[in-house]
């Protein structure tokens, strides 16, 4: 127990041990009976019946018992089972009793278009979009966190003889491209063996394009994948591209024009359509300044094929050869932009504002496009402070690459981090089956359709612990222990989005809320549970005390440990919640 003296009086800072909630005591008594210890077989029954682990064996339970025994100083416990304190420790241990799995468990043999892919925007920036440094450090950090798509904006250096990475037409300082490529190679598979996609924004001359091709080939060697043919009719799977790097960018215009009506299939459906491959620009109503800002952020610019003197450039064949996923931006009608070519795949890029407008009038067309092709969504150009947007609109319309400013922070980024905790955190999450289905009359999933409730998630938040170990005694309140409460929000389809809040627990480092909330769900496969703990302050803004975001479809049933993270998504060492999840 610590104390704090101020102006002649003393307030106590009590740091007592966490007290188990009633449900935990009842669970132990229900399976151990009147005995003081629970056997391995009784623990197995608890795992099967209460925790939903139907495949749990006695051997699994014995492994847990052995792990719990290792906590004791005595090498030979007095009883072969586990006591109540061990049982409570087990339930409140993220290592032994996590809320979501840590292994890849989804089918990884479908085309890349069937997956949401962890995607970063302007991956090289250390801070804001206008004046921060460019560096390979943010790229390394992103890859360590499981990001699978890295964006590089390529510009000629000051002497026009090499390639720099920077946010063009801003005050950002450059970093050499070769440094970024070498760091990508070193850290590409640090957290996941599944493919890394490098999206290139190209502002180079043919000579420098050829230099880029040489750098890419020499840096990545055998781990670089590119197709033998000019374009793919179907994307490969994450499993087939394990430990490989692939390039996505806009092919040079002359190359596309030379293909039109030239060599290739005689089938009219397979002839190259320049407008389709260039991919179209949706006109919108934003003012000229904002449009210019957005243009800086797009992966491809209108004048990529023209040099400073307005002279049309010839394409570098080596550069064309390394491009696996052909990209483009929209130019023309929206319906034409979303046209699906049965004989080739491509990537289309839309700003968050363009996506909003497309979703209003062409929701099913977006879904149909993304069943075969890649849709990338990027932040609008006025997000100078590296903020982000709600990713759910992109995901519910099938967008695989919802690109985020990973150097930022905030609730939108928490959602992104939450989705990609799924499937073992490998950076690829399979889209729901209904996103890929095609009906007998060609119909696809309609994001605007009114749907019935599929299931109801019951969330019980018991308690929290660990703040007294991770924070100074006076961090939240200079005179007394903190007053914690929790906000619980279900984020998903509009019909599913709702929020709840617990009561405030006064003066307690280990708050016991013991409250349950119900969340009816129409699309549980696209729902995320966002939890934020705050410390109540009647005279100032409530203090942040931790957050997490969990994919609903990955939640393990029963009483589970939920670790909390700081504002940027770094996990706290000790802070965690004890919760229960049930689907009814």
Positions marked catalytic: 121, 167
Between CA 302 and CA 292 the distance in angstroms is 12
Helix (H) or strand (E) holding 574: strand 571-583
Tokens 């599944």 sit at which residue? Answer: 194
* DSSP result, 208-262: HHHHHHHHHHHHHGGGB---SSSS-SSPPPTTTTTT-EEEEEPPPHHHHHHHTTS
CA terminus-to-terminus distance, the chain: 43
**Cα separation values, 326 from 97, 186, 320, 541, 543, Å:** 44, 25, 10, 48, 47
Between CA 527 and CA 498 the distance in angstroms is 11
> Quick check: helix, strand or coil at residue 38?
strand
Q: Is the dihedral of CA 440, 445, 448, 454 positive or negative?
A: positive
Q: Which of 555, 504, 511 is nearest to 529 (CA)?
A: 555
User: How many CB atoms lie under 10 A from the CB of residue 573?
Assistant: 10
Between CA 546 and CA 575 the distance in angstroms is 8
Q: Is the dihedral of CA 66, 71, 77, 83 positive or negative?
A: negative
Between CA 519 and CA 159 the distance in angstroms is 60
Between CA 253 and CA 247 the distance in angstroms is 17
Tokens 């302050």 sit at which residue? Answer: 537
């Amino acid at each position: 127990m610590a104390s704090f003296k101020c102006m002649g009086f003393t307030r106590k800072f009590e740091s007592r041990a966490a007290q188990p909630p009633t449900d935990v005591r009842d669970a132990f008594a229900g399976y151990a009976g009147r005995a003081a210890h629970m056997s391995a077989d009784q623990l197995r029954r608890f795992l099967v019946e209460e925790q939903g682990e139907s495949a749990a064996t006695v051997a699994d339970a014995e492994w847990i018992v052995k792990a719990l025994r290792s906590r004791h100083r005595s090498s030979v416990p007095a009883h072969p089972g586990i006591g109540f304190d061990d049982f409570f420790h087990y339930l409140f241990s993220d290592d032994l009793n996590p809320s979501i799995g840590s292994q890849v468990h989804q089918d990884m043999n479908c085309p890349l278009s069937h997956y949401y892919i962890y995607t970063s925007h302007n991956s090289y920036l250390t801070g804001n979009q206008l004046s921060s440094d460019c560096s390979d450090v943010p790229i390394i950090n992103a890859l360590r966190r499981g990001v699978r798509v890295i964006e590089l904006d390529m510009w000629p250096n000051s002497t026009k003889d090499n390639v720099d990475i920077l946010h063009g037409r801003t005050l950002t300082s450059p970093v050499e491209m070769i440094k970024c490529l070498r760091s990508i190679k070193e850290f590409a598979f640090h957290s996941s063996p599944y493919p890394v996609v490098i999206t290139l924004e190209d502002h180079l001359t043919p000579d420098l394009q050829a230099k880029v091709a040489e750098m890419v080939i020499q840096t990545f060697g055998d781990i670089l994948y590119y197709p033998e043919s000019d374009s793919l009719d179907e994307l490969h799977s994450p499993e087939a591209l394990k430990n490989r790097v692939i390039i996505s960018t806009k092919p040079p215009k002359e190359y596309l024009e030379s293909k039109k009506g030239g060599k290739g299939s005689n089938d009219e459906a397979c002839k190259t359509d320049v407008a389709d491959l260039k991919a179209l620009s949706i006109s919108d109503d934003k003012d000229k300044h904002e449009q210019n800002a957005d243009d800086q952020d797009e992966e491809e610019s209108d004048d990529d094929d023209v040099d400073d003197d307005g002279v049309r450039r010839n394409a570098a064949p080596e550069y064309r050869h390394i491009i696996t996923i052909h990209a483009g931006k929209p130019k023309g009608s929206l319906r034409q932009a979303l046209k699906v070519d049965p004989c080739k795949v491509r990537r289309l890029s839309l700003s968050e504002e363009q996506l909003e407008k497309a979703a209003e009038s062409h929701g099913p067309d977006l879904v149909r496009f993304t069943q075969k092709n890649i849709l990338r969504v990027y932040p609008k150009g006025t997000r100078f402070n590296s903020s982000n947007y709600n990713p759910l609109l992109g995901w519910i319309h099938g967008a695989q690459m919802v690109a985020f400013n990973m150097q930022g922070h905030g609730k939108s980024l928490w959602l992104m981090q939450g989705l990609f905790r799924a499937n073992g955190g490998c950076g690829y999450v399979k889209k729901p089956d209904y996103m890929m289905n095609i009906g007998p009359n060609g119909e696809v999933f309609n994001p605007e359709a009114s749907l019935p409730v599929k299931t109801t998630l019951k969330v019980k938040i018991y308690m929290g612990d660990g703040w007294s170990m991770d924070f100074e005694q006076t961090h939240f309140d200079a005179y007394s222990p903190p007053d914690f409460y929790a906000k619980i929000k279900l984020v998903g389809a509009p019909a599913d989005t709702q929020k709840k809040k617990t009561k405030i627990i006064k003066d307690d480092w280990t708050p016991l809320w013991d409250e349950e909330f119900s969340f009816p769900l129409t699309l549980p496969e696209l729902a995320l549970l966002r939890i934020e703990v705050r410390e109540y302050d009647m005279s100032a803004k409530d203090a942040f005390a931790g957050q997490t975001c969990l994919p609903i479809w990955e939640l393990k049933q029963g009483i589970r440990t939920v670790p909390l993270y700081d504002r940027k998504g770094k996990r706290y060492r000790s802070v965690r919640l004890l919760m229960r999840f049930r689907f009814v």
